[in-house]
Structure 1
Amino acid sequence: MDLPISTREDAGRQLAARLESHRGRDAVVLALPRGGVPVGAEIARALDLPLDLLFVRKIGLPWQPELAYAAVVDGNPPEVVINEDVARIDPMSSTELASAMQREVAEIERRRTVYMNGRAPMEVTGREVILVDDGLATGTTAKAALVALRRRAPSTLILAVPVAPEDTVNEMRSLVDVVVCLAMPEPFHAIGIHYRDFHQLEDDEVLGILAAVA
């Protein structure tokens, strides 16, 4: 299988080439930690744009944690988006959902403390926003992020991802002004198999990337 993407950094450089028209504009790159950070950092560096983080956490089914039942995005109050396709087939109880949400909000708070060091999030109202992740599968976390971002009234909302299933990309189109996706392989299976290197990022690596961009 000929893989189009070698690393997250390579993905960021390829996406930056597709986003060249946004260089120097009143725009901000928002990366979803952890995997979206190296992708977003390369885009921000290449286009001379600021980089910020948007904290989103997947809520998996208790009996199948990798399957996204919902996602919660940082905010006051936090924004929750349910994966309706999963909920119709395998619903969680309100108690299970509340418990899972509490755990993920606590992790969002931990990451914000570690990564942001007290810095307030960048203002996005009236600006172009490029939301970046290292790939989409069901798109539940990205959907939550996009719904929350729309409420903050950016002038333009762009989703930039290296790899995703075609049906997920098509679903995202109604939520954004532009979708940029490098590859929509069929069959899809999982994000990681479309990279040569898709290692698990830890906090120290994310902090190093953020320090280098800053």
Structure 2
Amino acid sequence: MKRITFFLDFISPYSYLAFEQLPQALQGLSYGVEYRPVLFAGLLKHHGQLGPAEIAPKRDWTYRQVLWNAHRHGIPLDLPATHPFNPLALLRLAVACGAGGAANRYVCETVFRHVWRGGADAVEAQRLEVLAQLLKPARDPAGDAVKAELKANTEDALSRGVFGVPTCAVDDKLFWGFDALPMLRAYLEDDGWFAGGDWERARQVGAGITRGR
């Protein structure tokens, strides 16, 4: 049985879509999933990138595509009242409900749906309080141990080469994005393409020009 590490941030609509679609996308296969909240902004900072919602035309397109994908796949989705927002409280709450930096599927589902269903403010104080009462975290989300675990999750993701969310890590391979779920399934099914050399060949393409940051 393959083990999947699912790196996610609740700020990411693509993480939400991939999370909701994962059971259907991998139906019939034998696998286990460990859900690891990470700080998407930390990944962006490390790689010197802006988030899609930080580039005005891309922001509009991102929301349109997200709504279309939700419609196409039958996944309920409402854009939150404001986006982007600071997801730290949500990430720490999820980590505080688990152990060792992992969060179970119920916790992740509850937090994702808090953000991406209903169209409310994801980090409004009263709503956060209600969410915490519902999840009943075993540890203090503001405690040093929880903060350290979230940081460790993000650092672990970076050490594996993760640059965005959602990313599913299996063996030594990373599958990034909602649209990578069919590719992930093919790998779990031992599709012969993965042994044909193209995976590594992609890494060997030379860079003809590099822009300064």
TM-score by length of 1: 0.30
**Higher strand content, 1 or 2:** 1
Q: Which has the higher contact order (CA 8 A, sep 6+)?
A: 2
TM-score by length of 2: 0.30
